[in-house]
Chains A and B, each alone.
Chain A
Amino acid sequence: MITIIFYILATITLGTGILTVLAKNPIHSAVYMVVCFFSIAGHFLMLNAQFLSVVHIIVYTGAIMILLLFTLMLMNLSDQHEPKKKVASRIAAAVSVCLTAIVILAVFLKANVVIESYKAENIDFQSVQVIGQVLLDEYMVPFEFASILLITAMIGAVLISKREKKA
């Protein structure tokens, strides 16, 4: 049962990922990307990582997708045709991606990774409570630096996209 759900979710993830890349209209790309991220949140939920699942939905579909869509509306790109790359460079892109995938998959298939049999010990290690304790205890300093990073990014985004005065 769980295996079937995993395969369905994986199909949705990969299919909408490919559609994101190949869709002509950038708005369709953004919508497919959101479906892809919802399925990844489903994967997190299947792994019993509730906090990650909810945060993934909030951050990606709540914040990033809205940002992308507003930027797309600001640029009004939907009616403007994106000129395609040359056929040679598109073929080269496809070939090199296939080679990358083959190499990485072959490494994982042939590498004889030491995977001892997985045993689920019945200890609570990933509930919201445990994540909060570890985040604010062991990873306190990186947490504060993340807040500095976010405020720097906010100021930087405002400064960069501010309309310059005509000199």
Chain B
Amino acid sequence: MLDILEQVGINNYIYLSTLLFCVGVLGILYRRSTIVMLMSVELMLAAANLLLAVFSVYHQDVSGQVFVIFAMAVAAAEVAVGLAILVSIYRNIGSIDIDKLKNLKG
């Protein structure tokens, strides 16, 4: 199992995480439900984490994986606060449709 990057090739991992990131971007642009947009942000973060881990293995250096752990901590905090904001929004306007959140426009 040590030589997986020799067999698969680092290029394939780069393409995979690029495509996963683009799927996340599609979710942000395509959907109106805020909770699905939050999930898309999670997908994009996971793509970045995967690439960090791949390059950590490629350089035989553990620092990349430590950064992945920090990114996971930040992602967990982000989801907790984001969902709290969503619940608060739902209480106030009774829906989480992103297009209804235009009070700031006046």
A residues contacting B by CB (< 8 A) are 2-3, 6, 10, 13-14, 17-18, 20-22, 26, 29-30, 33, 36-37, 40, 43-44, 46-49, 51-52, 55-56, 59-60, 63-64, 67-68, 71-72, 74-75, 77, 82-85, 90, 92-94, 96-97, 100-101, 104-105, 108, 115, 118, 120-123, 125-126, 130-131, 134-135, 138-139, 142, 146, 149-150, 152-154, 156-158, 160-161, 163
Contacts and interface: CB of A to CB of B under 8 A. Distances in A.
Contacts, number: 226
Contacts of A122: 2
A150 B6 CA distance: 38
Contact of A64 (B23, B42, B81): B42
B1 A72 contact: no
B32 A83 contact: yes
Given A30-B39, A33-B43, A83 B97 contact: yes
A34 B33 CA distance: 18
Best-surrounded residue of B14, B84, B85 (most CB of chain A within 10 A) = B84
Contacts of A72: 35
A74 B87 contact: yes
